[in-house]
Chain A
Amino acid sequence: GAGVSQSPSNKVTEKGKDVELRCDPISGHTALYWYRQSLGQGLEFLIYFQGNSAPDKSGLPSDRFSAERTGGSVSTLTIQRTQQEDSAVYLCASSLGGGGTKNIQYFGAGTRLSVL
């Protein structure tokens, strides 16, 4: 597609349920990133993929969070046993990867997760 696509745009779930968030990056972008944006705070890095590998998972807040990427394209972020503090906007970005302007990250519109 023309841009980074995320689904669903909104997700309301009950505490304790599992959720899956999907990201479809720009075609040809080898690098993919997940961020979390809470109200009044900056974007918080969660995980980075280069191809299907995740060399940096350092931002995942707990073992309830996991992510995978298949075919060097679509990525899924899974949150198990959701908690109210997981409520936030989850943003995905992709880039060509490499130096210079290939570092520019392009963002999707995000998934707004509300845990009741």
Chain B
Amino acid sequence: GQNIDQPTEMTATEGAIVQINCTYQTSGFNGLFWYQQHAGEAPTFLSYNVLDGLEEKGRFSSFLSRSKGYSYLLLKELQMKDSASYLCAALNDYKLSFGAGTTVTVRA
């Protein structure tokens, strides 16, 4: 099975940077996903890492270390609209196993 751990909550100031860490333990691994979910809405795809290293996409970047079972999502130049839950998910074949999500609150 899969064991996905991420912090429950994080708070940051508008314009700042926040890093959300995720560790996973898996019997098989095909990649690591990050999703953003605003309250009452669908999770939306942010990033997909298969190989080790950093993937940058605008203000959001995602990092993966397969040997350490570790990933992080980096949010730069935070905006109020970034207040949401961020879900880490590990892919095993076709099945995604999700962490409980990290609620990020951006303060003015």
Residues of A near any B CB (own CB < 8 A): 3-4, 31, 33, 35, 40-45, 48, 50, 56, 91, 97, 99-101, 103-110
- Residues of chain B within 8 A (CB-CB) of A97 are 94
With contacts A42-B4, A48-B94, A100-B50 taken as known, whether A106 is within 8 angstroms of B45 at the C-beta atoms is yes
CB distance from B103 to the nearest CB of A (A): 10
Q: Is the CB of B45 within 8 A of A104?
A: yes
> How far, in angstroms, from A4 to B45 measured CA to CA in the complex?
13
Pick the contact of A91: B43, B44, B50 (CB < 8 A). Answer: B43
Q: A35-B98, A91-B42 are in contact. List 4 more A-B contacts (CB 8 A).
A: A43-B96, A45-B95, A48-B94, A104-B33
> How far, in angstroms, from A99 to B98 measured CA to CA in the complex?
19
> How far, in angstroms, from A35 to B42 measured CA to CA in the complex?
12
Tell whether B61 is near chain A: CB-to-CB under 8 Å: no
CB distance from A100 to the nearest CB of B (A): 7
Pick the contact of B48: A42, A43, A104 (CB < 8 A). Answer: A104
Q: What's the dominant secondary structure at chain A's contact region? A: mixed
Q: Is the CB of A40 within 8 A of B100?
A: yes
Q: Which residue of B has the minimal Cβ distance to A103? A: B91
- Residues of chain B within 8 A (CB-CB) of A31 are 94
Tell whether B31 is near chain A: CB-to-CB under 8 Å: yes
Within 1-35 of B, Cβ neighbours of A (below 8 Å) are at 4, 30-31, 33, 35
Q: Is the CB of A4 within 8 A of B42?
A: yes
> How far, in angstroms, from A37 to B50 measured CA to CA in the complex?
25
Within 46-93 of B, Cβ neighbours of A (below 8 Å) are at 48, 50, 87, 89, 91
> How far, in angstroms, from A50 to B95 measured CA to CA in the complex?
12
A-B contact pairs, 26 of them (CB 8 A): A4-B42, A35-B98, A42-B4, A42-B100, A42-B101, A43-B43, A43-B96, A45-B95, A45-B96, A48-B94, A48-B95, A50-B94, A56-B94, A56-B95, A97-B94, A99-B30, A101-B48, A103-B48, A103-B91, A103-B94, A104-B33, A104-B45, A104-B48, A105-B33, A107-B35, A107-B42
